[in-house]
């Protein structure tokens, strides 16, 4: 008997295989697994996002590689997978945030934004002539005093986490998070744990140029500069 994929079930997004699978969505997930390791972690007063930028050549300007984006003043997201697909989703998220602000005169809630992005991604699994987005997003934000962290899947599925990771090296990074995560962690401990899990998922040592860090704390998104990033790298290396 021929494998299901060779019988044409993977040729269109609208065709289910006999066992209920959409192969194009599964291929999109494989694109995410080949992306850079991305970690999100909640702590007492906020959310931290840490990304391996994976610089493939010394000729590349590290500043041109962006994997963490500000969506609204209180929401940020980190990506893994196809960079161009991620850019489209980030633009969509920013648009939804501004529409909400203009319509209701208030900032959008993190969960509502995550659901809107997942609804948008799900549409690309349902119609002929399109393909799923080959990227996953970790969306972190703060609504009043509460912090949130969501993972969006290429299928449009949504899941809330205390700490999670996507991309290459996910299994190794998850092992570190599951063993060491604590609900009452402070900012420094959370960032160091995220970086240790990031290091577990990659073969090379961490450097300030290859790592991107951002936090959402006090209702404000802030991305770290190279000096702050290097300080955390030095501390976890020495420890």
This prediction has a pTM of: 0.92
For 139, phi and psi rounded to 5 degrees?
-110, 120
Residue 3 pLDDT level (bands cut at 50, 70, 90): low
Q: Which domains are seen in the chain, by residue range?
A: 34-238 (3.60.20.10)
Burial of 47 (0-12, 13-18, 19+ CB in 10 A): buried
pLDDT band at 7 (very low <50, low <70, confident <90, very high): low
- The 3-state DSSP class for residue 125 equals coil
Coil, helix or strand at residue 123: helix
Q: State the CB neighbour count (10 A cutoff) for residue 175.
A: 13
Q: What are phi and psi of 125, to 5 degrees?
A: -110, 5
Cβ–Cβ < 8 Å for 21, 112? no
Residue 24 has phi, psi (to 5 degrees) of -65, -35
CA distances from 168 to 19, 37, 98, 193 (A): 27, 5, 32, 18
Three-state secondary-structure class, residue 227? helix
Q: What is the mean pLDDT of residues 72-95?
A: 96
Mean pLDDT of 207-227: 92
- Residue 1: its pLDDT value, please? 41
pLDDT at 65: 84
Confidence of residue 139 (pLDDT cuts 50, 70, 90): very high
The count of other CB atoms within 10 Å of the CB of residue 74 is: 23
Q: Which amino acids are annotated catalytic?
A: 36
Strands (E), 5-127: 38-43, 46-52, 68-72, 75-81
């Amino acid at each position: 008997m021929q494998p299901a994929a060779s019988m044409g079930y993977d040729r269109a997004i609208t065709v289910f295989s006999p066992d209920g699978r959409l192969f194009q969505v599964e291929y999109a997930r494989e694109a995410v697994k080949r992306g850079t390791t991305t970690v999100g972690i909640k702590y007492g007063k906020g959310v931290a996002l840490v990304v391996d930028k994976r610089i493939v050549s010394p000729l590349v300007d590290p500043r041109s590689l962006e994997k963490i984006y500000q969506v609204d003043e209180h929401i940020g997201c980190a990506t893994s997978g196809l960079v161009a697909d991620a850019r489209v989703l980030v633009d969509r998220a920013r648009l939804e945030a501004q529409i909400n602000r203009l319509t209701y005169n208030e900032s959008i809630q993190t969960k509502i934004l995550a659901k809107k992005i997942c609804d948008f991604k799900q549409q690309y699994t349902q119609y002929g002539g399109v393909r799923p987005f080959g990227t996953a997003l970790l969306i972190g934000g703060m609504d009043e005093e509460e912090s949130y962290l969501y993972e969006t899947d290429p299928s449009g599925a949504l899941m809330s986490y205390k700490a999670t990771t996507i991309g290459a090296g996910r299994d190794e990074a998850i092992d570190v998070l599951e063993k060491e995560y604590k609900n009452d962690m402070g900012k420094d401990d959370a960032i160091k744990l995220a970086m240790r899990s990031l290091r577990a998922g990659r073969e090379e040592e961490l450097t300030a140029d290859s790592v991107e860090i951002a936090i959402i704390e006090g209702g404000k998104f802030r991305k770290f500069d190279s000096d702050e990033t290097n300080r955390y790298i030095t501390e976890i290396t020495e420890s």
